A and B are shown apart, each in its own frame.
Chain A
Amino acid sequence: MEVILAKLLTSMMAVAGTTILIGLVLAFVHQPQGIQGLRVFTAFTTFKTADAPYRTLLEIRDGLFAGDGLAIVQLGLFMLIATPIVRVCVSLILFARVRDWMYVSISALVLTGLALGLLGWIQ
């Protein structure tokens, strides 16, 4: 059972990593003027909340349709962040299989906290 978990996680990380790489290569090569061109690095010396790109899945989707490499990168990052969350889900399922309801509930509690953050309901 642990072996399946390990394999699942490594494949998720591989997919996330590849997505990020594809996005980076695209952004490098393509330099779209559309939604987000590559900004010169000095633009990051000050933090502007209104300026940051791709904060939600909807924005990422729009960016994907526009062919922006950075949207692909952000998608990959989203997948990377989701990997530990998936791991908790799998643990929950494994606990349910052995009928350990105490830990099913505890895992559900952890997932709730993670979901609150991931769905952007906490800002």
Chain B
Amino acid sequence: MDTHLAMLILMLVSIAAGCLGALTGLGGGVVIMPVLIIGFGVDVRYAIGASLVAVIATSSGSAAAYVRDGFTNVRLGILLEVATVAGAIVGALIAAYVNTDAIIVLFVCALFYSAHATLRPPASRPIDLIPDPLATRLKLNSSYPTSKGDTPYSVHNVPGGLLLMGGAGVLSAMVGIGSGIVKVFAMDRLMRLPFKVSTTTSNFMIGVTAAASSAVYLHRGQIEPQIAGPVAFGALIGALVGARILPRVNTYWLRRIFACVVIVSGIELVRRTFT
């Protein structure tokens, strides 16, 4: 395919990916990877490099807004980032030695889990205010804005959260996605935070995790400007647009359709790899 045309198409697709990522929370990574691998036949390692950069683009924009609105627990985010960054670096390093077929399988598993998690409603439970001593020591308990004013909450299970975040970091680096779903799961279910705090804090962290692994990929020569350039720019524009139109869009059906498309692309990816 002519390179000019390819880069143009890639940019347009990335705009769509960034927009969908901002609207559904399923991130640019899960769209960019199949498009690059199936659509353009790009080698997995270049695809991951480009996808990670797209993840930074998609998440950083919206993260700024959430911090400003008071939902993000910045201390918790920074603390958990110690684990995700460590995991991301480990993951980026070992990814070089892992068979690309295994990486694709891992990616598809993450893909299916993400689609499933998007369709599942968040755990509904009253806020657990019994303080956890470790969390209190680490100054993690906080409050968030609700219709009733500033509502306090407490954080639990910090070691478990750190462990899961390490895993999320490794996954993110090996497979080129944001792992936001794993992060939200850890904070929502394990650490028992209010859902909005989980999603916004996760968004806060995703960019840093992707930056940690992107840096390793960059130095290893896996970020190819002709691919990552259009992808990053497109995702940036798309995420900005998506964040703008989010209040006016009914995401219920969008998420369902998107989840189906994502699952189909995962199946196709496996089919192509193993037949």
Contacts and interface: CB of A to CB of B under 8 A. Distances in A.
Same complex for A and B? Answer: yes
Interface of A: 2-3, 5-6, 9-10, 13, 16-17, 20-21, 23-24, 27-28, 38-42, 44-47, 49-56, 70-71, 73-74, 76-78, 80-85, 87-88, 91, 100, 102-103, 106-107, 109-110, 113-114, 116-118, 120, 122-123
Contact of B219 (A23, A39, A109, A123): A123
A80 B221 CA distance: 17
Interface residues of B, number: 64
B194 interface: no
A98 to B, nearest CB: 11
B38 interface: no
A104 B42 CA distance: 42
Contacts of A123: 93, 216, 219-220
A114 B233 CA distance: 23
Interface of B: 1-4, 6-7, 11, 40-46, 53, 56-57, 60-61, 63-65, 67-68, 74-75, 78-79, 81-82, 85-86, 88-89, 92-93, 138-139, 207-208, 210-216, 218-230, 232-233, 236-237
Most buried by A among B46, B139, B225: B225
Contacts of B64: 5-6, 9-10
B68 A28 contact: no
Contact of B60 (A3, A13, A120, A122): A13
B218 to A, nearest CB: 6
A38 B226 contact: yes
